[in-house]
Amino acid sequence: MPSNGAMFAFASVVASEEKFRRCAAPGLQRVSEPDAVVAQYTDATSMTSAYNEILDAFAAREDLEALVLLHEDTEILDSEFCAKVRRRLAADPEIAVIGVVGARGVRSLAWWEGEGAGRVAETRGLVDFGGGSEEVDTVDGLLLVLSPWAVRNLRFDDERFRGFHAYDADFCFSARAAGRKVVVDEIAVFHHTKGGYGDEQEFRRSDEAWRAKWREAGEQRAEPCTVCHADVVAEVAAGERAIVACPACGTGITIPAPDRDIESDGIWVEQYGGGRMANREHWYAEARVRADWVGRHVTGGLLVDIGGGTGEMAAVAAERGFRSALIEPSGWAAGQARELGVERVLGDVADWPDVAPGEHADAVTLFHVLEHVHEPLEFLAAVRAILRPGAPLFVEVPNFAAEDAQRDPVAWTATALNDHVAHYTPESLARLMADAGFAVAEVTPLPSMVYDHPAYWASKCERWRARGMVRPSEDLLRLRATA
Ligand SMILES: [Zn+2]
């Protein structure tokens, strides 16, 4: 139900009345709520200027919930359309644009040459990149759902792009350059098109102009290596991030550094959200595999799981005879852990001496934590301080030395450009630990098969095979050390 007179607006640039009536109109009838506004623009000389007129017309509407720009040959099939969009925008206020199909790793207007995402039915057949809800670089302009923020703050570039190409990718890149997100979502639409570039010469001209704006005007950026503090430099286009191996020690550094606040609930709520709780059985299974490893080296006493989110590891440790505690900065995740019966939950490792003076842990676990930490040496010093001397520390991170990471540092399975500050190799992780005063006992690369559902593992292997890899990737890295 629309709330407080909030309004969805739909607009289309119409070149052929017949096509609009046959394709877009039935979809609009299907999904429009009684107070929706439907606008048609005819006589447009370019998509960018026509769309800007539409944005100008709606920017001042305080009751605007979303503006939906769709092609005259796009038919929305999803009768839940408005409810889905409303939910998605409410769940993540950083979203500026929602589409149905798009890609990551986009290097030209031929976005489909990137890593595709989403799904759309077209006259020529189903274009299917697996569906789901995913963050992307750009979506296809066949359907653009704009948040009120996007309508009020972004405009199409009608000076550079005068025709009917590039407007979508340019708008999406502008949104991301402003720190907002572009996503695909599970929305059923039918695109009444046979595909193709349209005017191929025009497409190529637009592509050159787009690349000159977004790909070639890179800026030199530097970040300090989290292990050896050497400057790591990359040329990065506006709104993009790169991962570059530190020339001195091989650690992969994300440039510019992710700025999502790990002190907040951001990662757990936005990235995993309700999906994390729906998959709780999986997180339990994962925790049991981890506890098996831990149990081979220590069998009792106080185990402190740091960065353990919703608490499954701490709960499993308790089942196995440990006294367990959880250190987790996200209040939301910590609350979920308390509901599991984890009694000692605190927000910051630095608070431990105040909360438990004189008490030392017999084991600390850090599963997929270090790659999020900006100053790992400082953090590890605090971790070491809570461990009993000689007690073990168990660490797991994505393995930057894995074959898929080395082939394409940005497109590998554990990139997480918005969250992962550093990407460790066996050598750089061992060095970091030694520098933090730990004695390294074990460094083991291993495949994520140990955690994955068989079907998910099979789909990963399929992706690797498609990239020409003959063996599955050892995409994880474990390290055990003593304080
Ligand atoms: Zn380094």
Distance from the CA of 282 to the center of ligand 1, in angstroms? Answer: 35
Higher pLDDT, 204 or 270: 204
Distance from the CA of 234 to the center of ligand 1, in angstroms? Answer: 14
Q: Calculate mean pLDDT across residues 193-200.
A: 72
- What secondary structure does DSSP assign to 196-230, as a single string? --SSHHHHHHHHHHHHHHHTS--EEEEEE-TTT--
Share of the chain above pLDDT 70, in %: 92
What pLDDT shows up at residue 192?
A: 93
The secondary structure of residue 349, as a DSSP letter, is G
Match domain 7-214 to its CATH number in 3.90.550.10, 2.60.40.10, 3.40.120.10, 1.10.150.20. Answer: 3.90.550.10
Mean pLDDT, the chain, whole residue set:
89
Nearest to 301, CA basis, from 283, 337, 334, 325: 325
- What secondary structure does DSSP assign to 359-412, as a single string? --BSEEEEES-GGG-S-HHHHHHHHHHHBPTT-EEEEEEE-TTSHHHHH-TTTS
Domain 266-482, second-level architecture: 3-Layer(aba) Sandwich (3.40)
Strand partners, 346: 327
What pLDDT shows up at residue 392?
A: 98
Q: What's this model's pTM, rounded to 2 decimal places?
A: 0.60
Confidence of residue 224 (pLDDT cuts 50, 70, 90): very high
What pLDDT shows up at residue 1?
A: 38
- Could you report the per-residue pLDDT of 269-305, keeping only the tens digit for each? 555 555 677 778 889 999 999 999 999 999 999 999 9
Distance from the CA of 436 to the center of ligand 1, in angstroms? Answer: 15
How many CA atoms within 13 Å lie on the side-chain side of 196? 9
Q: Calculate mean pLDDT across residues 223-229.
A: 96
Where are the chain's structural domains?
A: 7-214, 266-482
Distance, CA of 251 to CA of 232 (rounded, Å): 10
Q: Which residue has the tokens 């025009």?
A: 202
Q: Calculate mean pLDDT across residues 226-238.
A: 90
Radius of gyration (C-alpha) of the chain in whole angstroms: 25
What pLDDT shows up at residue 280?
A: 86
Phi/psi at 347 (nearest 5 deg)? -90, -25
Distance from the CA of 428 to the center of ligand 1, in angstroms? Answer: 8
Residue 172 to residues 58, 61, 178, 419, Cα–Cα distance (Å): 19, 22, 10, 20
Distance from the CA of 429 to the center of ligand 1, in angstroms? Answer: 11
Distance from the CA of 326 to the center of ligand 1, in angstroms? Answer: 30
Sign of CA dihedral 16, 21, 23, 27: positive
What pLDDT shows up at residue 3?
A: 45
Which range among 93-102, 230-239, 463-472 has the greatest average pLDDT? 93-102
Q: What residues does the ion ligand 1 have nearby, CB within 5 Å? A: 225, 227-228, 230, 246, 248-249, 251
Nearest to 333, CA basis, from 309, 312, 352: 309
Q: Is 402 left (phi over 0), alpha (psi -120 to 50) or beta?
A: beta
Structure tokens at 298: 């220590």
What is the identity of the amino acid at 237?
Answer: A
